[in-house]
Structure 1
Amino acid sequence: MSRFRRLSHAIWHCQYHLVWVPKYRYRILSGPISHEVELCIRAFSERLGAEIVELNIQPDHVHLLAMVPPKVSISEFMGTLKGRTAIRVLNKFRHLKQKPYWGNHFWARGYCVDTVGLDAEKIRKYVKYQEAQEKRK
């Protein structure tokens, strides 16, 4: 099977490594909140036609390796993921909105994005095993 995907007028292989954090980098992405974030990421990625290669949610950040079709810009993809997950998480876990420093924001501004070329397997393993590597330190 080819590594390329097909659209009606294009073949593509656009793979990205994305990292983003909760506001103030609070360590809240665990338990039910982590589970809800994962469900949201998977659901909204599928709606945009993106394929999740690897997903790792740490207590204070999210690593995502995804194949995003060229008809979807990365800023649109991240805006949808961060915006929609924030809405769902803050509605489901209302106690987060009660903190005076939290407001209506769940994620910090911005994100890190890197294109994945020939080292795709190396980056996939990094995303998958990053938590174990952090615990060893």
Structure 2
Amino acid sequence: MRRYRLGSHTKTDLKVHIIWIPKYRKKVLTGQVAVRTRDILRQIAYEHELEVISGKVASDHVHMFIGHRPTQNISKIVQWLKGISSRALLSEFAHLKKQFWGRAPMG
């Protein structure tokens, strides 16, 4: 059964599938980092009135299928999800900061 978002003169059902990877596709989203990533993304979605239909945090990428309002730009949604989660994870897990900030990877 479809769940539409109703406006004063509109009925919408907007969904987007978003996939993104960590820098250099490093396999850092494992264990406690993966659990915390999932929790942070759920919290961001709740705060911005996004409906998470499905999602998966794999070791080297994140999938999210999201329902959103017509007034929310997809670029802004991605900015919220990636930016807020990145800052939170880097502040909570010191080993991530060491992996992503410093020397460029060799070959």
TM-score by length of 2: 0.87
> 2:98 maps to which residue?
98
Cα offset, 1:36, TM superposition: 1.0
Residue 22 in structure 1 maps to residue 22 in structure 2? yes
Residues in 1 aligned to 2:49 and 2:9: alpha-carbon distance in whole angstroms = 16
Q: Is the 8 A contact 2:15 2:66 kept in 1?
A: yes
Residue 41 in structure 1 maps to residue 41 in structure 2? yes
Local SS of the residue matching 2:52: strand
**1:9-56 Cα distance to aligned partner (Å, 9 max, x none):** 532100111100001000111111001110111111111111000011
Residue 79 in structure 1 maps to residue 90 in structure 2? no
C-alpha root-mean-square deviation of aligned residues, in Å?
A: 1.6
Residues in 2 aligned to 1:8 and 1:50: alpha-carbon distance in whole angstroms = 19
Pair 23,45 (structure 1): closer, same or farther in 2 beyond 3 Å: same
Question: Which consecutive residues of structure 1, in runs of 5 or more, have no partner in the other structure?
Answer: 105-137
Q: Which structure ranks higher in relative contact order (CA pairs < 8 Å, sequence separation ≥ 6)?
A: 1
Pair 7,94 (structure 1): closer, same or farther in 2 beyond 3 Å: farther
Question: Which consecutive residues of structure 2, in runs of 5 or more, have no partner in the other structure?
Answer: 103-107
The residue type equivalent to 1:90 in the other structure is L
The residue type equivalent to 2:49 in the other structure is G
* Runs of 4+ deviating beyond 4 Å: none
The residue type equivalent to 2:59 in the other structure is P
Pair 8,46 (structure 1): closer, same or farther in 2 beyond 3 Å: farther
> 2:53 maps to which residue?
53
Local SS of the residue matching 1:84: helix
> 1:63 maps to which residue?
63
